[in-house]
C-alpha cells in the first residue's frame, strides 16, 4: 500500500469523531432514503393496486365503442371462445368475463338505479378485491342462483341486510324485459363511495340466463402473471383480437391516478431533500473540522515534497472509504428494513382507515417495496452526496501553500 494511503487509513482510525459522525450520518441518511423510497413506492403501489383491483383490473378488453357508449350495441361477441383462446398464454395470470348493465333495484319502499354485473366469482377473486371487500354475509360462488352481492352504500340506501329480498328490473341483451327477486347474499365495502353506492353483482351463469347474454360480455378482464408487465402484455394481446375490440392497460384508463402518485412522489422527495441538506452540511462541517485540524500536518507533508495530487488522493481516499462504508452500512440497514416490512406490512391504526379509504386504500396495512435496483440507485445517490460534501474542504486545503499551512494554528 502506498504510504499516503496508509496515512489515510491511520487518519480514519485516529480521528474517531469525524469517522463516527460521517459513518453514522451517511449510514443513517442512506437507510432513511432507501426506506422512505420503499415506503412511498409501497404505499403508491398499494393505492394503485387497490384502485386497479377494486374493480377495473389491470387489463381490460372491451368493444372499441363501449367506453363512449356503453350499450348492448357494443358488446364482446363470442367472448367464451376468445377467453379460451387467450387463457393458454402463460403471461396471463387469470382472465374473466363481466357483463355490466344498468337496472332498477327495488324493495317495497325504495327504488334505486344501479349497475348490476354478472361476474365469474371464482376468477374474480384474483382479478379484483371484491371478495376481500366482504363486509357482511358471504361472497358469491359458482352456481349461485338469484343471490346478489351488494355495495354497502347501496344496501344502506335500499335499507336491506343480508338475507333480505329485493327485485331488479332491466333489459336483457335482446331488449326483452328482465326482472327477478334476488336474495342479498353478501354486502361489500371497498371504501370507494361512488362504487359502493352504485354497484351490485350476481354470478354470470345466472345473469346470462336472465339477460340472454350467453357467450357475450361487456368486459374481459386480465390479471397478468407479472403485474408490472401489464402494458407490454396489453400490446401483445392487441393483434390477437378481432378488429372491433379494444385492449387497454390500467396505465391508460387510470392515468390521472398514475399521475397523482407521481406527484406525491415528487413531494416526498422534496421533503427528503430537506433532510439531506442538513445531513450534507453536517458531513461537510465534520470533514472541514477534521481536515483543518490537520492543516499543519499537511503543510509538513507538502514541505517534505509530497505532491498536491498525492495529498488530494489521500484525502479523497479517506472520504471515499468513509462514504462507502457509511453508504454500505446504511444500504444494508435500509434494505433489511425494506425487506422486513415488505414481508410484514406496517399496520396503521384503524383511526386512519377512513382517511386512506378516501384515497382508495382499502386496508391500513402498507407493505414496503423491496427492489434491489432501486436500493442500489439510492445508495449511489447518497454516495455521490457524501463525497460531494467532503470536496469543498479538500479543495480548500489544497489551495493553501505549504508555509501558510505549517504556520496554521
Partner 1 sequence: MMTKVLALLLLCSPLLAQSAQEIIQKVEDNLRGESAQMELSMIVHTSRGKRTMKMQSYSVGDEKSFIKILYPLKDRGITFLKIDDTMWQYVPRIERIIKIPASMMLQSWMGSDFSNDDLVKESSIAEDYRQKLLASDAESYTLELLPKEQAAVVWGRLQMRVSKKYFLPTEVKYYDEKGTLIRILSYKEVKKLGDRFYPTYWVMLPQTEEKKGRKTEVIVKDATFNEAIDPAYFTKRALKRFSR
Partner 2 sequence: MFKLIFKSALASLLRRKLRTALVITMIAMSLWGLLLMQGIYDGMVQQMIGNAVRSDSSQLSIFAKGFRAQPDVKLQLQKQQEIKNFLAHHPNVKSHISRILSRGLIATARYNRNALIYGIDPGAEITHASLNRYVVEGAFDFGDKRRGALLGYKLAKKLKISPGDKVVLSAQSMDQQIASVALRVKGVLRTNNLSIDESGVFMHKQRAKAMLGLENAHQIAVMVHDYSRVATLQTQLRTKFPGVKSYTWEQLYPALQQSRELMELFNSISYAIVFCTAAIGIFGVVLVSVLERLREFGVLRAIGTRFGVIAAMIFAESFLIGVAGFAAGSLLGGATLEYFAAFGLDLRSFSDALGEFGIDAVTYAMIKPEYFTTSFVAVFAATFLSVLIPLRILRKSKPVEVINE
- Our finding on whether 274 is near partner 2 (CB under 8 A) is yes
Counting DSSP H helices and E strands in the chain, the numbers are 15, 14
| DSSP letter assigned to residue 142 | T
Task: Concatenate the DSSP letters of all residues of 158-221 into one string.
Answer: HT--TT-EEEEEEE-TTS-EEEEEEEEEEEE--S-HHHHTTEEEEEHHHHHHHHT-TTEESEEE
| Residues of this chain, 224-253, that bind partner 2 according to CB under 8 A | none
Q: How near is the Cβ of 227 to partner 1 at its closest, in Å?
A: 34
Q: How far is the CB of 269 from partner 1 (least distance, A)?
A: 45
Region 184-223 residues binding partner 2, contact defined as CB under 8 A = 194
* Residue 406: CB minimum distance to partner 2, A: 17
The answer to whether 116 contacts partner 2 (rule: CB under 8 A) is no
How many chain residues touch partner 1 (CB under 8 A)?
Answer: 25
The answer to whether 214 contacts partner 1 (rule: CB under 8 A) is no
Binding of partner 1 by 113 (CB under 8 A) = yes
Q: 274 touches which of partner 1, partner 2, none (CB within 5 to 8 A by kind)?
A: partner 2
Residues shown for the chain: 409
From the list partner 1, partner 2, none, pick the one residue 180 interacts with, judged by a Cβ distance below 5 to 8 Å according to partner type: partner 1
**Options 115, 162, 173, 381; binder of partner 1; rule CB under 8 A:** 173
Q: Measuring CA to CA, how many Å separate 352 from each of 343, 347, 355?
A: 21, 10, 5
- Is residue 159 a contact point for partner 1 (CB under 8 A)? no
Q: Of the ranges 43-51, 129-137, 170-178, 282-290, which one interacts with partner 1 (CB under 8 A)?
A: 170-178
* Cell numbers standing for residue 333: 440497514
How many Cα atoms are found within 13 Å in the side-chain-facing hemisphere of 375? 22
* Residues 298 and 405: beta-carbon distance below 8 Å: yes
Helix axes 255-293, 16-54, angle to 10 degrees: 180
Query: What does the DSSP 8-state code read for residue 141?
Result: -
Tell which one of 10, 64, 84, 113 touches partner 2 (CB under 8 A). 113
Which grid cell sits at 295? Answer: 492543516
Span from 130-138, 163-171, 222-230, 267-275 in contact with partner 1 (CB under 8 A): 163-171
Chain residues binding partner 1 by CB under 8 A are 65, 68-69, 71-73, 102, 104, 106, 108, 111-113, 167, 169, 171-177, 179-181
Amino acid at each position: 500500500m502506498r504510504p499516503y494511503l496508509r496515512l489515510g487509513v491511520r487518519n480514519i482510525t485516529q480521528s474517531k469523531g469525524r469517522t463516527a459522525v460521517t459513518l453514522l450520518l451517511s449510514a443513517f441518511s442512506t437507510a432513511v432514503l432507501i426506506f422512505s423510497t420503499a415506503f412511498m413506492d409501497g404505499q403508491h403501489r398499494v393505492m394503485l393496486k387497490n384502485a386497479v383491483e377494486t374493480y377495473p383490473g389491470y387489463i381490460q378488453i372491451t368493444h372499441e365503442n363501449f367506453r363512449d357508449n356503453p350499450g348492448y350495441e357494443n358488446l364482446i361477441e363470442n367472448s367464451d371462445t376468445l377467453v379460451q383462446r387467450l387463457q393458454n398464454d402463460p403471461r396471463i395470470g387469470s382472465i374473466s368475463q363481466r357483463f355490466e348493465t344498468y337496472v332498477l333495484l327495488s324493495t317495497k319502499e325504495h327504488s334505486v338505479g344501479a349497475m348490476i354485473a354478472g361476474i365469474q366469482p371464482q376468477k374474480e377473486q384474483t382479478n379484483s378485491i371484491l371478495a376481500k371487500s366482504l363486509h357482511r354475509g358471504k361472497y358469491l360462488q359458482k352456481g349461485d342462483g338469484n343471490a346478489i352481492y351488494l355495495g354497502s352504500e347501496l344496501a344502506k340506501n335500499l335499507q336491506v341486510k343480508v338475507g333480505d329480498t329485493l327485485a331488479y328490473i332491466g333489459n336483457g341483451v335482446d331488449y326483452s324485459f328482465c326482472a327477478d327477486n334476488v336474495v342479498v347474499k353478501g354486502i361489500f365495502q371497498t371504501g370507494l363511495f361512488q362504487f359502493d353506492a352504485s354497484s351490485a353483482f350476481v354470478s354470470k351463469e345466472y345473469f346470462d340466463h336472465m339477460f340472454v347474454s350467453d357467450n357475450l360480455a361487456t368486459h374481459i378482464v386480465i390479471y397478468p402473471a407479472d403485474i408490472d408487465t401489464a402494458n407490454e402484455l396489453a400490446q401483445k394481446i392487441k393483434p390477437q383480437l378481432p378488429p372491433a375490440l379494444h385492449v387497454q392497460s390500467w396505465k391508460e384508463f387510470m392515468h390521472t391516478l398514475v399521475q397523482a402518485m407521481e406527484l406525491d412522489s415528487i413531494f416526498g422527495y422534496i421533503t427528503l431533500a430537506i433532510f439531506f441538506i442538513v445531513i450534507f452540511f453536517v458531513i461537510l462541517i465534520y470533514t472541514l473540522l477534521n481536515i483543518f485540524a490537520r492543516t499543519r500536518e499537511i503543510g509538513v507533508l507538502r514541505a517534505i515534497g509530497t505532491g498536491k495530487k498525492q495529498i488530494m488522493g489521500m484525502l479523497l481516499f479517506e472520504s471515499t472509504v468513509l462514504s462507502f462504508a457509511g453508504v454500505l452500512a446504511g444500504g444494508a440497514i435500509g434494505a433489511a428494513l425494506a425487506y422486513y416490512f415488505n414481508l410484514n406490512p406496517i399496520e396503521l391504526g384503524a383511526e386512519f382507515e377512513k382517511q386512506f379509504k378516501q384515497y382508495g386504500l382499502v386496508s391500513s396495512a402498507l407493505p414496503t417495496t423491496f427492489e434491489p435496483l432501486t436500493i442500489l440507485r439510492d445508495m449511489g445517490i447518497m454516495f455521490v452526496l457524501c463525497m460531494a460534501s467532503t470536496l469543498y474542504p479538500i479543495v480548500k486545503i489544497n489551495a493553501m501553500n505549504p508555509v501558510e499551512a505549517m504556520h496554521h494554528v
